[in-house]
A and B are shown apart, each in its own frame.
Chain A
Amino acid sequence: MSTDALVTERRTTDATAPTHTPVADGLAVLGRHLQRIKATPGVLILTQTMPITMLLFFGYVFGSALAVPGREYRAFLVPGLLAATAANGVMTGMFQSAQDCHRGVMDRFRTLPMSRSAVPFGQTAADVLTTAVGLVPLMLVGLAVGWRIEGGPAAAVGAFGLLLLFRFATSWVGCWLGLLIRNEEAAGQLGASTFILPLLSSAYIPTDNLPGWLRTLAEWNPISAVAAAARDLFGNAAPAADAAWPVAHPVAGTLLWSAVLLAVAVPLSVRLYSRGGE
């Protein structure tokens, strides 16, 4: 046993960097989340399988019963599922930060002389990276069942970027909720119930035929703007002019919704992280 491992002179000379290095700290936390995914790949595969299953289930079972003007239902459904997947950041973010609180990892971070924004930033950034990879299988299956990218490569890249931006925003919202809940099981339960959110939007169904108040509610759901933006940019369907503003102007709507969610969730998360949920 070497005794010098415990106490010698404090820190080595190249380890005297200043305490506030948010980017380096954030990258270290991001690396941690990517290592976690590598350690438990089953979780990632499971989250990939869900929207694909829904695509096949909704696409073939409900698709035959639904009439979507001008387009085949599956081509309508794929951008909706992409938007719903982007909204899932609420669920994953909430579970992750609640688990870290519950298991004491969050408190370990909080005792370290590191940036106060690094933990939520690293967590949400890692979530965006995994989503970027995770959207690909869904798009490939979508292409196989009749969905097409018809808006040109630049617009397609734009759509992909918007989806990831929205995922980033919802992931921060989830991060904040998890820090608030602090309990792994409770976050899991609540997370499971977030599947309702895309049901109340234009992700799976066109909103035109909904009764007036329900249509308004669904169109002001941020997921509707994201789904409409994806349909618009992938060239699957033009935005409905008579819809609510965020859906009629879906790209601007998505940008605005994301900005609003981030403007609220980022400071709340950082503050809650710093205070430890008090």
Chain B
Amino acid sequence: MTTTYAVLSEGLEKRFGDVHALRGLDLAVAEGTVCGVLGRNGAGKTTAVRVLTTLTAPDGGSARIAGHDVVREAGAVRAAIGVTGQSASVDGELSGRQNLRLFARLLKYRGEVARTRADELLERFELTDAADRPARTYSGGMRRRLDLAASLLARPQVLFLDEPTTGLDPHSRNQIWAAVRELAGRGTTVLLTTQYLEEADQLADDIVLVDSGRAAHSGSPAELKARIGSYAEVVVAHASALGPAAAVLDQLTGTEPVLDHERRTVGAVTTDPSLTLPRIVRELDAAGAAAIDASLRPPTLDEVFLRLTGRGTPIKETAA
């Protein structure tokens, strides 16, 4: 059986003056799957979404969405997609209901159908009570839900979510996640960008790590995690225990531990899935290293990039 790709890009290039935002980005998202595009601020995630959703013309390369070329068949692409995120927003002066009715009309739903469709989505996203208030009075989470509702009016084949949960509280984030899972479960292809490894892990069938405008790595969350491993960290009571604790971690993980004398911590990356926290604690105890805290957690995004690209955090980025 051949795979049909809902999103397929080859060698996408985009420059903004001196900034080379996309440097040959390849993406392939199979129909009906969720692709998590993971990257730090400035990696090119938003530019990629803008090119794929016809908002920005690429300088080079090509991309097809649901089989249609983003440049030559932009109209057909627009008829197949929904977009939510940093770049596509609703009108803050209009109420949630007015916004959804407007977009429904522009999506060629007529009169009564447009009204019904708007009300359906308001209810689905628990916005019925706030439906007649100006959208500018909504909380961040409500606003994001309204954005998502607007992008789902036409029941798109491919949904683009550009950092859908950045800046949201956990409850709102869970609501967005639930909607994404439901859409994915019913066959919608989803491409979402995120800065959070956890989010990509939770939602995506495949993760593409984007760094400096190109795909640095791609694979399933399990493959990615196997490759990047976990991070074992131990806090000791006295600086004198740092040495013995480091020796234990060195022996257990096979990688060189990193010592932080100020915080009295020692940490090391492990790719051994059988290594457990109790074992680490037992070995520390046996070695006489008095640990007061220990953890075995997924690495942060910065640690992932450090492992996969050999480069650490470049510059302190501004908020998204």
Q: Which residues of A contact B113 (CB under 8 A)?
A: 12, 14-15
Pick the contact of B110: A14, A32, A40, A118 (CB < 8 A): A14
State which of A66-74, A102-110, A196-204, A240-248 sits at the interface with chain B.
Answer: A102-110
Contact with B along A146-175 (1 / 0, CB 8 A): 000000000000000000000000000000
Q: Count B interface residues, CB 8 Å.
A: 47
Given contacts A35-B98, A103-B89, A105-B89, contact A6 B182 (CB under 8 A): yes
Those of B85-117 within 8 Å (CB) of chain A? 86-95, 98, 102-103, 105-110, 113
A108 to B91, CA, bound (A): 10
The answer to whether the Cβ of A133 comes within 8 Å of any Cβ in the partner chain is no
Q: Which of A16-24, A82-90, A135-143, A260-268 contacts B (4 or more CB under 8 A)?
A: A16-24
Contact assessment for B108 and A21 in the assembled complex, using a CB-CB cutoff below 8 Å: yes
Contacts of A112 in B (CB 8 A): 78, 103, 106-107
List residues of chain A with CB under 8 Å of any chain B CB. 1-12, 14-17, 19-21, 24-25, 28-29, 31-32, 35-36, 39-40, 103-105, 107-114, 118, 275-276, 278
Contact A5 B54 (CB under 8 A): no
Report which of B53, B83, B103, B155 forms a contact with A10, defined as CB distance below 8 A. B155
Count of A-B residue pairs with CB < 8 Å? 130
CB contacts (< 8 Å) of A24 on chain B: these are: 105, 108
Q: Residue B105 contacts which of A12, A28, A40 (CB distance < 8 angstroms)? A: A28
Given contacts A2-B123, A104-B88, A105-B91, contact A15 B55 (CB under 8 A): no
Task: Decide yes or no whether B75 CB sits under 8 A from chain A.
Answer: yes
Residues of B within 8 A of A (CB): 53-57, 75-76, 78-79, 81, 83, 86-95, 98, 102-103, 105-110, 113, 120-121, 123-124, 134, 150, 152, 154-155, 157, 179, 182-183, 186-188
Contact A114 B124 (CB under 8 A): no
Question: Could you tell me if A6 and B54 are in contact, using CB atoms closer than 8 angstroms?
Answer: no
CA distance A166 to B167 in the complex (A): 45
11 contacts between A and B (CB under 8 A): A1-B123, A3-B186, A4-B120, A6-B179, A31-B102, A107-B88, A108-B88, A111-B81, A111-B83, A111-B88, A112-B107
**Which A residue's beta carbon lies closest to that of B16?**
A278
Please report the C-alpha to C-alpha distance between residue A14 and residue B110 in the assembled complex, in whole angstroms. Answer: 7
Cα separation A187 to B120 with both chains bound (whole Å):
37
Contact A1 B124 (CB under 8 A): yes
Residues of B close to A28: CB separation below 8 A: 102, 105-106
B90 to chain A, nearest CB (A): 7
Say whether, besides A15-B113, A21-B108, A104-B87, A110 and B123 are in contact (CB < 8 Å).
no
What CA separation (Å) do A265 and B93 show in the bound complex? 27
In the complex, which of the residues B76, B94, B157, B182 contacts A3, with contact meaning CB atoms closer than 8 Å? B182
Please give, as numbers and ranges, the residues of chain B lying within 8 Å of A9 by CB-CB distance. 155
Residue of A9, A32, A111, A275 with most chain B CB atoms under a 10 A cut-off: A111
Minimum-distance CB pairs A-B, first 9? A104-B89, A5-B124, A113-B79, A113-B78, A7-B186, A108-B88, A5-B120, A17-B108, A28-B105
Known A5-B124, A21-B108, A112-B103: A103·B81 in contact at CB below 8 Å? no
Contact A108 B134 (CB under 8 A): no
CB neighbours (8 Å) of A1 from chain B are: 123-124
